[in-house]
Structure 1
Amino acid sequence: MTGYEPPTALPRALLERDDMRAAIAAHDFGAVFSLARSEAGISYSKIAAECDVKPERVGALARGQGSVTTFEKIARIADALRIPGWMLGLAPRGWEAATSSGRMPGVSERGALGDTGPVGGGVRRRELLKATGAAGLVTGLPELARPTVGRRIGQDFPDRMRKRTARLRRLDDVLGGGDTYRVYLGEYHATKALMRESSYAEETGRELFSVLAEQAQQAGWAAFDGGLHAEATSLYEASYVAAVEAGDSALSGNALAFLAYQTVSGDHHGGVEIASRSCSTAGSTAPPGVRALLYERLAWAYAVAGLATETERALSAAEEAFSEAKGTWKPDWAAWADENELRIMSGRCWAELHRPLRAVPLLEAALAQYDDTHARDKSLYLSWLADSYLNAREVEQAAAVTGRALELCDGVASVRPRKRLAPVLRRLGEHRELPAVAEVLDKARAA
């Protein structure tokens, strides 16, 4: 492909424009196509032919309908429009070394996350990160430049990538999936491309598959949190395949736990089956912290299915695993699960099973230790507390908790808090004659 210059190659001046850079960084290919036509005179039909996309699909994307998420299609667009790989979170494309348009002055090939200097056209690293929604926190995290590597990957490289993945995972502590999805998806695609285009020893390959599985899970979680359920399912399934290839049973079990968590809301029994399989896949040799996490997810699946006895049994298994976990190692992807998270999950389970006398004390005690900076998660957990207060006929207390949840989730790029609060607000609507309830309903409408 290096000797061919496609008719859809974007002019360097257009690639350097702020609006084009922002669209590329956000993987907003509809905006990219629209700018290509309006600013460079490249027709949609030419774009469709070079990108192997139906012309009507190109037009729909340009109108803001749909998105492009598969690696293969993103790579095809990069090659057709001659978009350097770093701008999309990909490894350098094969044609970049053979053409001067593959490199732009003053731009590091490490990618948006790794570029610390000024970028051509006056766009700086922070502005590119704003396009992905994660600017503020990413710029505060150290050593986020994607490690460089030659065509032969050394045995130390997977560990470096795992540490990078762990640092980026911290974005999820304070940002919603609408902000982080493109960041995590870009990481996953870049690693996938690197594995396809490089050589490495067998053991290094297994470690790379393990990193890839972690990245797919994180991208899937962000997709789920942002309401992109089909994309989440696809990424979780890809993660499971990669984890199996890596021979990492704990990570394979976690991929299934993610699938179960997504499935359970629409298919209660299907969710229970997948969650049970996640525990058996990880097995008794998994680190106790991992087993605790998977048993938590199993308890939730049982609770949503209305199985109280099984829920209590799974919560007990999680508690026992946590007691074993003290002072032991667990992977970073399971590090967020601790005893306080178990209290929250227990409270959520009992709230789901309409047991307010058990749910309220657990949720109140756990949330008292939960910092407001974790706004998305805290607002979600408050929704179950409000639900439990309603079940206990403490309507005004439910209204106060709901109002707090609404304040926390305001501006958070996640669909889940408002979705969870919707049925609570409907139930509160039955008591709109109470001033406290009327106030929170007005707040919800204003939001």
Structure 2
Amino acid sequence: MTAYHPPTALPRALLNREDMRAAITAHDFGTVFLLARAEARISYSKIAAECGIKPERVGALARGDGSVTTFQKIATIADALRIPGHMLGLVPRDWEAVEQPPRQSAAPIGTTGTTRDGDSTVRRREFFKTSATAGLAAGLPELAPPAIGRRIGRDVPDRLRQRTARLRRLDDVLGGGDTYRVYLGEYQSTKAMIREARYTERTGRALLSVLAEQAQQAGWAAFDAGKHADARGLYEASHESATEAGDASLAGNALAFLAYQRLDGDRAAGVETAEQSCRTAGPDAPPGVRALLHERLAWAYAVAGDEGGTERALSTAQAALDDNDGAPQPDWVAWVDRDELRIMTGRCWTELRRPLRAVPVLEDVLARYGDTHARDKSLYLSWLAESYLAAREVEQAATVASRALDLSTGVASVRPRQRLEPTLRALGPHRDLSLVAVVLERARA
């Protein structure tokens, strides 16, 4: 029995055409609609009905007027035209799972479900991805951009901030390669709203604050996906918007993101920017903000080899967490807690080549850190593996590196493998050990 396709479903041959693939990848839906009518004989009225777009809007897009940038509309069009998620930078769509027979797991019942090549781990992660995306999208309120010149109410920034907070949860289970376009679309939509709508001065400042938050979210996803120039541009735009909005906490956080990037090329500039981020937010920033910025400052000091500065910054971050009296914190620091600070502590001691301090901290926290946070856990395990190797515990380092490889498989982030590479190279001279040989062969494959 063949699966049902709506009348707008694009033929597979057309989806595979180079010009169609290029248009889909670029989110150029005007060209997609044009080719759909010309090559698949799908009328604009049918496309409009299935995609929830007015027919005149479909025609305008096909003529090159305007664009589609919001996550909801991109997802709706993808589902109506049966465009696979991977072509749009999205996770697999729900209908893909329905129309394709499920693969059988190679693991027998009662096992952990992880096969030699990690297939079951990847499938389980894909399930979490799809579930997270579907659940979040279902709960997002529709916020259509206002017509040019239309006044918007003071409730809109709060609604946008709530929406941004919900979308941020995607980062818990997805890598930047999956989320970048989603977050960038939200940022661009808010930017267009600021440009085209009318509002009071107070609402305008609130919108700029939301824009700064969205720029940081998109910048982080770009950084995670290896798009470093895009990330830098978004962080700089965020700092500008936050400063204009008078939001010192977000302005400081934008600088902290820039510091993280600058450490790779110029450690002194990275440290200076991290210090500036703490001064910008100031001592009156919410405790969670102060904790986040000072733990990032600690990391900058550690990369620069400043052990005393690292300890002072970590102590300040801990004091900020202790200062939390339960008052509401910005959602973008909700993930900063004592375990997060302990992980950063372990990372810093690893960077400072103090494995006897790093290993117990990382082992303790990672023992209760969920595998569904695959990208983050694989990253943190890479520091643990590095510390074991620094302590000359070669086989234990290989075991941890193998676990990190398992978790990073299928994650749309460049960072776990980049972090593991130095440890894998350092394991090379020990390939006569069976555990090491196995992990190096897996990494090579």
Measured against the shorter chain, the TM-score band is: 0.7 to 0.9
Indicate yes or no: 2:345 matched with 1:387.
no
Q: Provide the C-alpha distance between the structure 1 equivalents of 2:375 and 2:314, rounded to a whole number of angstroms.
A: 24
Q: What do the CA deviations read for 1:154-178 (whole angstroms, capped 9, x no partner)?
A: 0000000000000000111111111
Q: Provide the C-alpha distance between the structure 1 equivalents of 2:57 and 2:352, rounded to a whole number of angstroms.
A: 63
Aligned residues: 379
Indicate yes or no: 2:212 matched with 1:213.
yes
After superposition, the Cα gap between the structure-2 partners of 1:344 and 1:25, relative to the gap in structure 1 and judged at 3 Å, is: farther
Q: What do the CA deviations read for 1:240-268 (whole angstroms, capped 9, x no partner)?
A: 00001110000000000000111112211
* TM superposition shift of 1:329: 1.8
The residue aligned with 1:147 is: 143
Q: Provide the C-alpha distance between the structure 2 equivalents of 1:319 and 1:280, rounded to a whole number of angstroms.
A: 17
The residue aligned with 1:133 is: 90
Q: Secondary structure at the match of 1:378?
A: helix
The residue aligned with 1:303 is: 302
Specify every segment of 5 or more residues in structure 1 that has no aligned partner in the other structure, as ranges.
1-11, 42-82
Q: Provide the C-alpha distance between the structure 1 equivalents of 2:198 and 2:24, rounded to a whole number of angstroms.
A: 28
After superposition, the Cα gap between the structure-2 partners of 1:403 and 1:34, relative to the gap in structure 1 and judged at 3 Å, is: same
Indicate yes or no: 2:414 matched with 1:415.
yes
Within a 5 Å distance, the mapping from 1:52-131 to structure 2 comes to 101-102=59-60, 113-114=71-72, 122-123=80-81, 127=84, 131=88
Q: What do the CA deviations read for 1:65-105 (whole angstroms, capped 9, x no partner)?
A: xxxxxxxxxxxxxxxxxx99xx9xxxx9xxx997661389x
**Is the Cα–Cα contact under 8 Å of residues 382 and 402 in structure 1 kept in the other structure?**
yes
* TM superposition shift of 1:143: 2.3
Q: Secondary structure at the match of 1:252?
A: helix
The residue aligned with 1:340 is: 339
**Is the Cα–Cα contact under 8 Å of residues 9 and 81 in structure 2 kept in the other structure?**
no
After superposition, the Cα gap between the structure-2 partners of 1:279 and 1:122, relative to the gap in structure 1 and judged at 3 Å, is: closer
* TM superposition shift of 1:147: 1.4
Q: Provide the C-alpha distance between the structure 2 equivalents of 1:99 and 1:149, rounded to a whole number of angstroms.
A: 14
Q: Provide the C-alpha distance between the structure 2 equivalents of 1:264 and 1:175, rounded to a whole number of angstroms.
A: 25
Specify every segment of 5 or more residues in structure 2 that has no aligned partner in the other structure, as ranges.
1-7, 40-46, 94-129
After superposition, the Cα gap between the structure-2 partners of 1:14 and 1:378, relative to the gap in structure 1 and judged at 3 Å, is: closer
* TM superposition shift of 1:310: 0.4
Q: Secondary structure at the match of 1:325?
A: coil
The residue aligned with 1:330 is: 329
**Is the Cα–Cα contact under 8 Å of residues 209 and 242 in structure 1 kept in the other structure?**
yes
Q: Provide the C-alpha distance between the structure 2 equivalents of 1:165 and 1:179, rounded to a whole number of angstroms.
A: 16
The residue aligned with 2:360 is: 361
Within a 5 Å distance, the mapping from 1:190-269 to structure 2 comes to 190-269=189-268
Q: Provide the C-alpha distance between the structure 2 equivalents of 1:249 and 1:361, rounded to a whole number of angstroms.
A: 36
Q: Provide the C-alpha distance between the structure 2 equivalents of 1:225 and 1:372, rounded to a whole number of angstroms.
A: 18
Q: Secondary structure at the match of 2:323?
A: helix
Q: Provide the C-alpha distance between the structure 1 equivalents of 2:68 and 2:59, rounded to a whole number of angstroms.
A: 16
After superposition, the Cα gap between the structure-2 partners of 1:161 and 1:34, relative to the gap in structure 1 and judged at 3 Å, is: closer
After superposition, the Cα gap between the structure-2 partners of 1:246 and 1:27, relative to the gap in structure 1 and judged at 3 Å, is: same
**Is the Cα–Cα contact under 8 Å of residues 10 and 36 in structure 2 kept in the other structure?**
no
After superposing the two structures, state which structure 1 stretch, 224-233 or 318-327, moved more: 318-327
**Is the Cα–Cα contact under 8 Å of residues 26 and 182 in structure 1 kept in the other structure?**
no
Q: Provide the C-alpha distance between the structure 2 equivalents of 1:319 and 1:349, rounded to a whole number of angstroms.
A: 14
* TM superposition shift of 1:116: 11
After superposition, the Cα gap between the structure-2 partners of 1:118 and 1:384, relative to the gap in structure 1 and judged at 3 Å, is: closer
**Is the Cα–Cα contact under 8 Å of residues 110 and 145 in structure 1 kept in the other structure?**
no
Q: Secondary structure at the match of 1:114?
A: helix
Letter in 1 for 2:429: E
Letter in 2 for 1:331: P
Q: Secondary structure at the match of 2:72?
A: coil
The residue aligned with 1:58 is: none
The residue aligned with 2:399 is: 400
* TM superposition shift of 1:368: 1.1
Letter in 2 for 1:354: R
Q: Provide the C-alpha distance between the structure 2 equivalents of 1:171 and 1:128, rounded to a whole number of angstroms.
A: 15
**Is the Cα–Cα contact under 8 Å of residues 250 and 281 in structure 1 kept in the other structure?**
yes
Letter in 1 for 2:60: G
Q: Secondary structure at the match of 1:327?
A: coil
Q: Secondary structure at the match of 2:272?
A: helix
Q: Provide the C-alpha distance between the structure 2 equivalents of 1:117 and 1:441, rounded to a whole number of angstroms.
A: 39
**Is the Cα–Cα contact under 8 Å of residues 70 and 182 in structure 2 kept in the other structure?**
no
Within a 5 Å distance, the mapping from 1:261-300 to structure 2 comes to 261-300=260-299
TM-score in terms of structure 2 length: 0.77
After superposition, the Cα gap between the structure-2 partners of 1:426 and 1:118, relative to the gap in structure 1 and judged at 3 Å, is: closer
The residue aligned with 1:187 is: 186
Q: Provide the C-alpha distance between the structure 2 equivalents of 1:146 and 1:23, rounded to a whole number of angstroms.
A: 28
Q: Provide the C-alpha distance between the structure 1 equivalents of 2:328 and 2:216, rounded to a whole number of angstroms.
A: 20
* TM superposition shift of 1:21: 8.2
TM-score in terms of structure 1 length: 0.77
Q: What do the CA deviations read for 1:1-35 (whole angstroms, capped 9, x no partner)?
A: xxxxxxxxxxx9999x7678875564366x98799
